[in-house]
Structure 1
């Protein structure tokens, strides 16, 4: 039995999603090729450069990711000598993050925008268009079912 044909408007939207996903993938490939780090690592480096001395929680908040995700990113950045962390004297559990000279060089040769082309493009949308897109995507996610709705994913401040 063949699946029911998808209506033409749905085909158009699917093609648009593919354009978005392919653009993001192409940018990430360019980042990895030119800078030698992943897109997420590049974004983390740029946040640390903008806010020297910030902590892991602050980095996670700035990147809209879970703290464990930020910790994993940092582990690889520290091991690659792109970031160094200093423990605070008063609270030895707390660290302050700084770029190394090598981390500065990676940022200097990396293509922007550092946070990625999708967040950059979304920020450029008219506020009403962005609000409409948010509502429409929320409806789409609801139709995809409970497994698509990650309750642990931070969606903003």
Structure 2
């Protein structure tokens, strides 16, 4: 087992050394510095708060129609639940969390959000005015076209 770990370590070290790219040399497709983290850069404008955005394909997680800048989601606290939890939506007017978020992988219903659905921005994303990196000829699913 130690021999395998040693071999893997050597391969990993050789592979990274062979690439020869330093983190500060990485550039984004837009030609700017490499993005650190998953937050939109400050020079992009968040879209204004709006009604729920239309979905483009079946089973698409809803897009977030407002800025989430400064939202805290940790294992102890989830800012999204201040508005979207079932007991707060009547007061806030926000969309309720889907019942699917209260089920485990095996379909067992829970009394609170499933841990695998707790970190909202794994699937749901807010919108910015960033220009597309590449062109797209994507068309919405036929069943969703009005």
TM-score bin, normalised by smaller chain: under 0.3
What is the TM-score with the length of structure 1 in the denominator? Answer: 0.23
What is the TM-score with the length of structure 2 in the denominator? Answer: 0.24
